[in-house]
Amino acid sequence: MSPEPKRRNAEKTKASILLAAQQLFAEQGFSQTGIRDIAARAGISSPLLMRYFGSKAGLFEAALIDAVRIETVLTPTKAGFGERLAMLFTDSEINITPPAIIALSVGHPDAQEIATRVVSEYVIQPVAEWLDGTDKVARATEIFMLATSFVMYSRQIPVIGKSEHKGRSVNEWLAGTVQAIVDAN
Amino acid sequence: MSPEPKRRNAEKTKASILLAAQQLFAEQGFSQTGIRDIAARAGISSPLLMRYFGSKAGLFEAALIDAVRIETVLTPTKAGFGERLAMLFTDSEINITPPAIIALSVGHPDAQEIATRVVSEYVIQPVAEWLDGTDKVARATEIFMLATSFVMYSRQIPVIGKSEHKGRSVNEWLAGTVQAIVDAN
DNA sequence: ATTATAAGTTATCACCTGGTAACTTATGCC
DNA sequence: GGCATAAGTTACCAGGTGATAACTTATAAT
């Protein structure tokens, strides 16, 4: 009687696994998230997940790469980058951003190695190439550092997400500080 | 033949447990550190550790509180606070600073609750009371947020620890940014 | 010296983890 | 319609976790 009798579809299954992994890794971090949790949220069994992604670390890497959407803020014009990045990284609806996953995965050796490599290749390098001026890699790293610290604390210490400082919200402060690094070429 | 034949001493044992816990929590984070690891480094057995601190979470809280040395930088004069804080939080010899332990313990619910509470009471509140001007709590939180992000990334992304930007090391950049928040009263 | 107590140990439990082997079943192709 | 294959499942294993019970032994007061 079910309108769609649950047809098999490997592509959609893989996508649902990736989404579940991104959500849970971002919420709970690498070591606190089990493959059974992810499989349950994706609506499948854990061995299937293992066959598609090889290991928990492999799934983590795939989920991280898939979560990167940095190219959407690397527009030709440099103005407004701070705001766009702050929006991209702090949108409360889609909170599966790289900073969130990274921040919640520090400490575990495997996750740390993967996160460092993926962020370096898929976030920091593109931003660095997009920047003008000198010290591109260092400035791109600083930008990501700031964004990550913001995401981390807007979750952990609730007051900071809403706090106002000299009339500017902390979100605006992040955008402004990031933009200052962009313009300091 | 041993000069000191390993006499029993509960106080010294507790202290050695606290030190081992601080080191390991700062190196590996909460969930990656087992009570057996801590007990082994302290040179005792894990049940003894449990009796002294009740649970792993209890030891984590005790270790965090014991690691706070914030009062050493809350001098009467406001000048130089940024540098002193950067030194206190990034001294590579004693890397058991609150930011390090915090950064490596996000994600685990118990650790998160404990860390938030301890940092709020033992770090942010004292700094806020020490600050001049308005928005004290928000500014103190921002300061700790910056310091934590720096510690986190100076460990995770090696380049940032040594990177130079416009001739200023990132350590100096942290000190300067913190000092700006202090002076913006 | 005896002995109560605190300091410390060994052995173990129940549970959870990532990972795997072996099984079932739907799907598309001939 | 038969059938090879991919999609998906159940049952399980070895190892590690936090925690506890029960044991031993050093220490210090009487």
Tell me how far apart the alpha carbons of residues A149 and A99 are, in angstroms, rounded to a whole number.
8
The CA–C1' separation of B125 and D28, in angstroms, is 44
Positions of E strands within B24-178: 164-165, 168-169
What number of other Cβ atoms are within 10 A of residue A9's Cβ?
10
Strand C contacts (Cβ < 7 A) comprise A 5, 7-8, 33-37, 46-47, 50, 55-57; B 8-10, 13, 43-48, 51
Q: What is the pLDDT of residue B155?
A: 64
Which range, A105-119, A155-169, B151-165, is most confident?
A105-119
- Nearest nt by C1' to A50 Cα: C19
> How many Å apart are B17 CA and D21 C1'?
23
A128 touches chain B (CB under 8 A): no
pLDDT recorded at residue B161: 44
Question: Looking at B12-16, B48-52, B135-139, which range is the least confident one?
Answer: B135-139
**Closest residue by Cα to residue B33 from B43, B44, B46:** B46
Per-residue pLDDT band at A159 (split at 50, 70, 90): very low
- pLDDT of A164 reads 54
Give the residue from B22, B52, B53 showing the smallest Cα distance to B37: B22
| Residue among B109, B139, B149 whose CB faces A145 most closely | B149
Rounded to 5°, angle at Cα A101 from A98 and A105: 135
Distance measured from the CA of protein residue B95 to the C1' of nucleotide C17, in angstroms: 30
| Nucleotide minimizing C1' to CA distance for residue B49 | C8
* Predicted local confidence at residue B94, as pLDDT: 52
3-state secondary structure of B107: coil
Give the rounded distance of the alpha carbon of A106 from its chain centre.
13
Phi-psi region of B44 (alpha: psi -120 to 50; beta: other; left: phi over 0): beta
Which range has highest mean pLDDT (A4-13, A156-165, B162-171, B175-184)? B175-184
- pLDDT confidence band for B1 (50 / 70 / 90): very low
Distance of alpha carbon A145 from the chain centroid: 12
Residue B149's closest chain A neighbor by CA? A149
Q: What are phi and psi of B87, to 5 degrees?
A: -60, -50
CA dihedral angle for residue A112, residue A113, residue A117, residue A123, rounded to 10 degrees? 0
Is residue A162 predicted with pLDDT exceeding 60?
no
Separation between the CA of B51 and the C1’ of C3 (whole angstroms)? 24
Percent of chain B with pLDDT over 90: 52
Query: What's the mean pLDDT when you consider all of chain B?
Result: 85
pLDDT band at B69, cuts 50/70/90?
confident
Question: A104 or A78: which carries more pLDDT confidence?
Answer: A78
* CA gap A89, A171 in Å, rounded: 10
Sequence-distant (≥ 6) Cβ neighbours of residue B174 within 8 angstroms: B82, B86, B90, B146, B147, B150
Burial tier of B145 (Cβ tally within 10 Å: 0-12, 13-18, 19+): buried
The type of residue at B103 is A
| Partner-chain contact A120 B28, CB within 8 Å | no
Nucleotides of D under 7 A from a protein CB: 6-11, 16-22, 26-27
Of B143 and A49, the structure prediction assigns the larger pLDDT to: A49
Mutate to test the interface with A, among B150, B162, B165 (most CBs of A within 10 A): B165
d(CA A120, CA A98): 11
A130 contact B CB<8A:
no
Cα–Cα distance for residue pair A65/A67, rounded to 1 Å? 5
CATH for the stretch B8-67:
1.10.10.60
Contact B145 A141 (CB under 8 A): no
Q: What is the spatial distance between Cα A167 and Cα B1, in angstroms, rounded to a whole number?
A: 70
Q: Tell me, what's the pLDDT at A161?
A: 44
Q: What residues in A contact B119, CB-CB < 8 Å?
A: 157
**Residue B57, pLDDT score:** 97
Closest CA to B159 of A68, A56, A161, A139: A139
Q: In sequence order, what are the beta bridge partners of A169? A: A164
Structure confidence at residue A103 as a pLDDT band (50, 70, 90): confident
Distance CA B28, CA B22 (A): 10
Of A103 and A38, which is predicted with more confidence? A38
> Smallest CA–CA separation between B126 and chain A, in Å?
16
**Mean pLDDT value across chain A:** 85
pLDDT, tens digit, 9 for 90 and up, residues A27-74: 888 999 999 999 999 999 999 999 999 999 999 999 999 998 899 999
Show me where the domains of chain A are located: 8-67, 69-185
Backbone angles phi, psi at B165, to 5 degrees: -140, 110
Position A160 scores a pLDDT of 45
Distance CA B180, CA B83 (A): 11
Instruction: Tell me which of A146 and A182 has the higher pLDDT.
Output: A182
Q: What is the pTM (predicted TM-score) of this model?
A: 0.86
Average pLDDT over residues A88-106: 73
Residue B34 confidence (pLDDT) = 97
CA nearest B177: which of B82, B81, B62? B82
